[in-house]
Amino acid sequence: MKRAIWPSVRKRMGRGTLARKRRSAIVSSPSGDISDRPDSLEHMERAHVQRILAESASLTVAAARLGIDLTTLWRKRKRWGLA
C-alpha cells in the first residue's frame, strides 16, 4: 500500500511556529491584554499570590503555602512587577 502525500501550500512549521502564532493571536486580541481582565485566570492567580505574600513571613513560607518552587515564585513576582 502506498502512502498519499498531500502537497503543502505553506512551508514546514518549525518548533517555535505555534508559539509565535499563539503570541501573535494574544497580542492582536481586540479586548487588549487578557491578564488585565478581572475574570482572567492570570489575574486571579496574581491576586492570590499577592494575598499569600502579604500573609507570609518569608518568600520560602509563601512558596510552600502556594505549593510552588521558590524559583517559580521569584519568576512570577518579576513578571508581575511585585516587590
Cα separation, 54 vs 51, in Å, equals 5
70 domain-assigned? yes
What are the tens digits of pLDDT across the range 46-69? 999 999 999 999 999 999 999 999
Q: How many domains does the chain have?
A: 1
**pLDDT at position 55:** 96
Burial 4-18 (b: 16+ CB within 10 A, else e): eeeeeeeeeeeeeee
Residue 55 located in a structural domain: yes
The model carries a pTM of: 0.55
**Which residue intervals of the chain are DSSP H helices?**
17-27, 41-55, 59-66, 70-80
Is 3 contained in some domain?
A: no
Residues of the chain with confidence (pLDDT) below 50:
26-30
Report the pLDDT value the prediction gives residue 73, as an integer from 0 to 100.
Answer: 96
pLDDT of residue 14: 65
pLDDT of residue 24: 54
Residue 43 lies in a domain: yes
CATH label of the domain that carries residue 50: 1.10.10
